[in-house]
Amino acid sequence: MGKIKAEFEVEQEGRLDQYLASRLEVSRSKVQKLIKSGKVLVNGRRCKPSHWLRVGERVSVEVEEEEEGPRPADVHFTLIYEDSHVMVVDKPSGLTVHPAPGVKEPTLVNGLLKLRPELQGVGSPQRPGIVHRLDKDTSGVMVVAKTQEAFLSLQRQFQERAVRKSYLAVVEGEPPSRGEIPFSIGRDPHHPGRFSVGAYSVREAYTEFLKLAQRGEYAVLLVCPKTGRTHQIRVHLSFAGYPIVGDPIYGQAPGPMGRLALHAYCLSFLHPEEGRRVKFCSKIPEEFFPFLKDVKLPEFCADF
């Protein structure tokens, strides 16, 4: 097995073990083992799991690469665009993006490798080509890197918030015509697998939304997150009092749509090779149609 090294610059204060668990998307106990074994350094020095990180500190971590990467498999998804540098795909609801502990069914990554075997070796061996992700039950547009150069460019754009994103959401309640939710979020210490506002170790998060229509007890929103935290839109809207319809974690399921009513609608980024800004929008799922009749649909919040 080989070793993978990663380095992060801390942008939000918090405990070392909680910070890395969130960044690496692994359990806190696994992170604590890495820290205690000397695989984690803060500014070049070993620290305890309870070390309190300060903004600007640099955290490096070394992990063992898993022996076997994901295998190609037949998986349904739609290819929106492709060139020699990137692929843009439309992920259906119910499809997990990449393999992870506890995930037994084929993922989008398995399907990508079936379609384009040359993706193996781009980025992480376990997540080839993946520079961002959507929750399993969220549908919509994603960009995938086809070369290491494209991977690094897109990764940097997401980190620097140069990527513009918009989502369609159907929520409960009557939100205002426009809103901003600037609250930091982190792992919920009382509920594993959940995130919350006001958690002990948090990261900056910012979400903007426009109300496109009110349909009785439900509202249709165009949501534009400025950051990309795990479950960010779901946590923020639930915290604001407008949980997403069909959300089994932060709202009530199944709801009138029979699925999580969240769809990644449009994505805009700088093409890794050409440098020009490009934009791609995904097909709106049929489940959203009853809520979108006669609705004027901007692509991004800034367009309205």
**What is the DSSP code (8-state) at residue 241?**
T
The active-site residue, picked from 17, 83, 90, 135, is 135
Beta strand 58-64 with 3-9 is: antiparallel
Q: How far is CA 187 from CA 112, 181, 220, 232, in A?
A: 30, 18, 27, 11
Q: Identify whether the C-beta of residue 50 lies closer than 8 Å to the C-beta of residue 70.
A: no
Question: What is d(CA 125, CA 115) in angstroms, rounded to the nearest whole number?
Answer: 17
Determine whether 303 is an active site residue: no
Residue 292: count of CB within 10 angstroms of its CB: 16
CA torsion through residues 94, 100, 105, 109, sign? positive
Tokens found for residue 110: 């398995």
Question: What SS3 class is residue 93?
Answer: coil
CA torsion through residues 42, 45, 47, 53, sign? negative
Q: Compute the C-alpha angle 3/29/65, nearest 5°.
A: 15
Question: What is d(CA 259, CA 255) in angstroms, rounded to the nearest whole number?
Answer: 7
Which residues belong to the active site?
Answer: 135
